[in-house]
């Protein structure tokens, strides 16, 4: 067959000279070892936390190698496309501190010399590359999904199977003559373009995965589609063309893409192109209600959507440090040794990414976030909470917007020194954690107060009445505590903790129990920041009012 003539028949107005694109997009001039990596989301109106995980790896690779991290919008699947979804993905990446160095930049804006970075704007490039393959006898038109019915296709495949055992993945249209193809085109039958695979499914090829190491995969022997009937390429073809022209050095993508790697490699070979390196990342998973490990699902898991963490008020730093620990497990130890450094200073390594699918654990995320927030200043905690509440909790925003001094004093309690308080995991926690400081307790009943069950109402009431007689807002902390100790001795409690631990049965309780009763009376809680500073913030009148209220309830 005259393949040049066939190519002209299929694509009469397309130039098959692909060299012009290599001239248009010259090789990048970067230092040796610099990585060029990309995040290439589909515009579905949703950025998966797994995509943030992958983009973070991309950014780390580019950052530490002095390379380029760019964004390409893969919008060739019209059925999945959501209006403005490209902007959603870009803005979400920026929210997570993963702003691309180059590429799609939202609202049809692009930065860089290797665009367009939106695949739907690159159709002429794909058509040229497809025509080139046809002209080389490496691709052919397929009419299977147009005029012919399913029964005729199956019948024809059965006939071919009776003649040879080696048709797995091979499309029957590959054997059409020029005249047959021309006839179908004259009948206005739609066609797709398929790769004429030269692979042998019995053979294997070895590849070096940057994460998984040496791997083997069977050669591709399927005539994969490279242009759909609307002449738009699927991922496999667009990926080969775009990553070549844009100078991508490493493709970071999920493990679910590994089975299709052989077909992608065959496409690179068909063009005599050197493929980039590949790094197939493990999938971010969770343990579901049944105790089974599964990939985070868009349909089932709200946390699969990256915006979930912003809406809940997790600091971006917390989420990124948690993800970095999933990426390189030695990050946690490094963080302990370097509490003040930026996580970008961590010596990230692609080779240290685990091969097992990491479990997204909210307990560990919350612990990580509490540690991160414990190093924030009270001013930052207030400003970040205010900013979050303005969008996601208007009621709480109205409460705290004019209470900067009060809030910063509250958030500063127990947050200095080598062992700062670690109680806030996300900004949405603050209202419930400190509700006793923002709201009146007038509507509380006795059941709302978490008094220790070992003390009866009479004892609690006696302690509180004694405290009202000695408390003064003017007392410094030592004077205040000395009064608590004196009360302990008078009421039958022990003022010395060491003595109490040696002979607890000799006393009603300890000085800590006295403080605990007062704490519950003014906050309803057993566990709060330093009681002395809480009382100072509440003020003498409010402290007295709260204690008198609980006395009346008792």
Per-residue pLDDT tens digits for 189-247? 999 999 999 999 899 999 999 999 999 999 999 999 999 999 999 999 999 999 999 99
pLDDT at residue 149, as a whole number: 41
| Of 165 and 244, more confident | 244
Burial classification of residue 141, based on how many CB atoms lie within 10 Å of its CB (0-12 exposed, 13-18 middle, 19 or more buried): buried
| Of 373 and 148, more confident | 373
Chain mean pLDDT for the chain: 92
The domain locations on the chain are 287-374, 378-431, 446-553
**Predicted confidence band of residue 163 (pLDDT cuts 50, 70, 90):** very low
CA distances to 320, 324, 326, 331, 481 from 342, rounded to whole Å, are: 11, 12, 17, 12, 40
- Please report, rounded to a whole number, the percentage of residues in the chain having pLDDT higher than 70: 94
Q: Are 525 and 448 within 8 A, CB to CB?
A: no
pLDDT at residue 45, as a whole number: 77
pLDDT at residue 71, as a whole number: 98
Q: Name, in order, each residue with C-beta under 8 angstroms of 43's C-beta and a sequence gap of 6 or more.
A: 73, 74, 75, 80, 81, 82, 85, 86, 88, 89
pLDDT at residue 254, as a whole number: 93
Distance CA 76, CA 88 (A): 17
pLDDT at residue 153, as a whole number: 47
pLDDT at residue 417, as a whole number: 80
Residue 29 pLDDT greater than 90, yes or no: yes
Q: What is the CATH number of domain 287-374?
A: 1.10.1160.10
- Please report, rounded to a whole number, the percentage of residues in the chain having pLDDT higher than 90: 88
In which residue are the tokens 């691309």 written?
A: 100
| Domain 287-374 shares a fold with domain 446-553 | no
Residue 497 pLDDT greater than 80, yes or no: yes
Distance CA 319, CA 177 (A): 58
Question: Phi-psi bin for 67: left (phi > 0), alpha (psi -120 to 50), beta?
Answer: beta
Count of alpha carbons within 13 Å of 55, Cβ hemisphere only?
A: 26
pLDDT at residue 164, as a whole number: 39
Mean pLDDT value across residues 455-471: 96
Q: Are 154 and 277 within 8 A, CB to CB?
A: no
Residue 147 pLDDT greater than 70, yes or no: no
Distance CA 19, CA 430 (A): 60
**Predicted confidence band of residue 165 (pLDDT cuts 50, 70, 90):** very low
**Predicted confidence band of residue 363 (pLDDT cuts 50, 70, 90):** very high
Residue 78 pLDDT greater than 70, yes or no: no
Residue 174 pLDDT greater than 50, yes or no: yes
pLDDT tens digits, one per residue of 280-318: 999 999 998 888 999 998 889 999 999 999 999 999 999
**Predicted confidence band of residue 79 (pLDDT cuts 50, 70, 90):** low
pLDDT at residue 288, as a whole number: 87
**Predicted confidence band of residue 278 (pLDDT cuts 50, 70, 90):** very high
Q: Are 327 and 353 within 8 A, CB to CB?
A: yes
Residue 145 pLDDT greater than 70, yes or no: no
pLDDT at residue 83, as a whole number: 67
Tell me the DSSP string of 46-114: --BHHHHHHHHHHHHHHHHHT-EEEE-B----TTT--TTHHHHHHHHHHHTT---SEEE-STT-EESSS
Mean pLDDT value across residues 75-82: 71
**Element housing 293 (H / E):** strand 293-295
Candidates 3.40.50.10330, 1.10.10.350, 3.30.830.10, 3.90.230.10; CATH matching 446-553: 1.10.10.350
* Per-residue buried b or exposed e for 531-540, using 16+ beta carbons within 10 Å of the residue's own CB: bbbbbbbbee
CA neighbor of 10 nearest in space, from 143, 152, 124, 181:
181
pLDDT tens digits, one per residue of 468-488: 999 999 999 999 999 999 999
Burial classification of residue 227, based on how many CB atoms lie within 10 Å of its CB (0-12 exposed, 13-18 middle, 19 or more buried): buried
- What one-character DSSP code corresponds to residue 524? S
Q: Which two tokens stand for residue 18?
A: 């692909």
């Amino acid at each position: 067959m005259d393949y040049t003539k066939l190519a002209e028949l299929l694509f009469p107005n397309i130039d098959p000279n692909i060299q012009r694109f290599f001239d248009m997009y010259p090789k990048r001039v970067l230092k040796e070892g610099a990585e060029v990596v990309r995040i290439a989301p589909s515009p579905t109106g949703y950025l998966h936390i797994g995509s943030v995980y992958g983009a973070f790896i991309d950014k780390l690779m580019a950052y530490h190698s002095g390379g380029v991290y760019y964004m390409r919008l893969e919008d060739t699947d019209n059925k999945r496309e959501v209006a403005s979804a490209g902007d959603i993905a870009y803005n979400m990446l920026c929210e997570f501190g993963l702003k691309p160095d180059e590429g799609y930049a939202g609202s049809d804006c692009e930065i860089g010399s290797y665009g367009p970075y939106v695949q739907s704007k690159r159709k002429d490039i794909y058509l040229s590359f497809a025509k080139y393959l046809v002209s080389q006898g490496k691709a052919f038109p397929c009419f299977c999904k147009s005029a012919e019915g399913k029964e005729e296709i199956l019948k024809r495949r059965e006939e071919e199977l009776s003649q040879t055992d080696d048709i797995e993945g091979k499309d029957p249209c590959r054997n059409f003559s020029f005249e047959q193809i021309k006839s179908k085109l004259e009948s206005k039958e739609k066609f797709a373009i398929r790769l004429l695979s030269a692979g042998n499914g019995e053979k294997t090829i070895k590849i070096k995965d940057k994460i998984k190491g040496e791997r083997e995969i069977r050669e591709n022997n399927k005539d994969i589609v490279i242009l759909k009937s609307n002449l738009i390429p699927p991922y496999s073809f667009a990926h080969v063309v775009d990553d070549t022209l844009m100078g991508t050095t490493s493709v970071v993508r999920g493990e679910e893409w590994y089975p299709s790697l052989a077909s992608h490699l065959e496409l690179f070979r068909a063009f005599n192109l050197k493929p980039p390196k590949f790094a197939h990342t493990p999938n971010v998973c969770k343990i579901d209600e049944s105790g089974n490990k599964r990939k985070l699902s868009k349909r089932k898991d709200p946390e699969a959507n990256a915006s979930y963490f912003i809406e809940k008020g997790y600091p971006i730093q917390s989420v990124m440090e948690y993800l970095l620990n999933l990426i390189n497990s030695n990050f946690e130890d490094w963080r302990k040794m370097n509490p003040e450094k930026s996580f970008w200073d961590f010596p990230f390594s692609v080779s240290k990414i685990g091969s097992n699918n990491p479990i997204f654990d909210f307990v560990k995320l919350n612990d990580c976030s509490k540690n991160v927030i414990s190093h924030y200043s009270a001013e930052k905690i207030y400003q970040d909470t205010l900013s979050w509440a303005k969008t996601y909790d208007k009621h709480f925003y109205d409460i705290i917007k004019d209470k900067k001094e009060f809030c910063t004093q509250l958030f500063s309690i127990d947050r200095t020194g080598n062992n700062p308080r670690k109680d806030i995991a996300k900004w949405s926690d603050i209202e419930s954690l400190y509700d006793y400081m923002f709201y009146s307790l007038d509507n509380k009943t006795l059941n709302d107060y978490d008094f220790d069950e070992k003390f009866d109402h009479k004892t609690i009431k006696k302690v509180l009445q004694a405290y009202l007689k000695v408390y003064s807002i003017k007392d410094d902390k030592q004077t205040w505590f000395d009064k608590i100790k004196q009360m302990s001795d008078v009421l039958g409690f022990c003022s010395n903790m060491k003595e109490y631990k040696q002979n607890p049965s000799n006393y009603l309780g300890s000085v800590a129990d006295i403080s605990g009763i007062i704490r519950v009376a003014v906050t309803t809680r057993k566990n709060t920041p330093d009681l002395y500073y809480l009382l100072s913030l509440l003020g003498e009148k409010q402290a007295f009012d709260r204690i008198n209220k609980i006395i009346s309830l008792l």
